[in-house]
Amino acid sequence: MTTQTKGKIGILIEEHFDETEYRRFNEFFPEHGYEVEYISNLWNQESLTFKGNDHTEEVTVTVDVKDINLSDYKGIILIGGYAMDRLRYQVLPKPGQPNQSPAVEFLRQAVKEMDLGNLKIGTICHSVWLFCADPELIKGRKVTCAHNIICDVENAGGIVMYNDDGTLSIYVDGNLVTSQHPGVVEEFMEVFLQELEKKNQSTTPALIG
């Protein structure tokens, strides 16, 4: 018997992902009725297995970003750690050519759907790095992130949101939910869930110190 869910959340992942986030995503979202599906660039393989930063967790991924229909997902989350930096890799970069990595191409399509109001996207800690691979994806967007990639985000045209303690814990800009680091993963998941279940998207950005 198939259990009906509220929808599916795709989590983009690669080697050196944050394991705290991985464990909590696997618990929290299914507990609230959402299926979690891990996706990545599989380099033309049927599956790839990735290990986390601490080498205590691993995940085998069978869904390739090139094969995804975004209408199948309610939300996409970019996991933290160093996974998104690895996914920015492109085989043959050329002068003046935007990043052509499969994951960045996927993010371009996801951002289009996000801006149309059809999809929520969430980032945590370093994972907004993937947006920085193509400044057109982040230029003018208000975000928060880990302190050690502030320069990357600002150099790519993103607007980093601060409070007296540094970057904000969580920031919601339209359908984009960004967060600071794994220490705020509980807040991030709660806010992302609230955004997923909103019937009408507010145009007023929300922030949490």
Q: CA–CA separation, 145 vs 169, rounded Å? A: 8
* H or E element at residue 129: helix 129-132
165 lies in some domain: yes
- pLDDT given for residue 1 in this prediction: 41
| Single-letter residue type at 203 | T
Per-residue pLDDT at 2 exceeds 50: no
Q: Is 140 left (phi over 0), alpha (psi -120 to 50) or beta?
A: left
What is the total count of domains within the chain? 1
Per-residue pLDDT at 204 exceeds 50: no
- pLDDT given for residue 4 in this prediction: 76
Q: Which two tokens stand for residue 184?
A: 């705020």
Average pLDDT over residues 105-131: 98
pTM above 0.75, yes or no: yes
- pLDDT given for residue 209 in this prediction: 56
Q: CA–CA separation, 162 vs 78, rounded Å? A: 21
- Here the CATH number for the domain that contains residue 50 is 3.40.50.880
Residue 20 sits in which domain range? 8-197
What would the pLDDT profile of 37-75 be if each residue is shown by its tens digit?
999 999 999 999 999 999 999 999 999 999 999 999 999
Q: Which two tokens stand for residue 65?
A: 């970003």
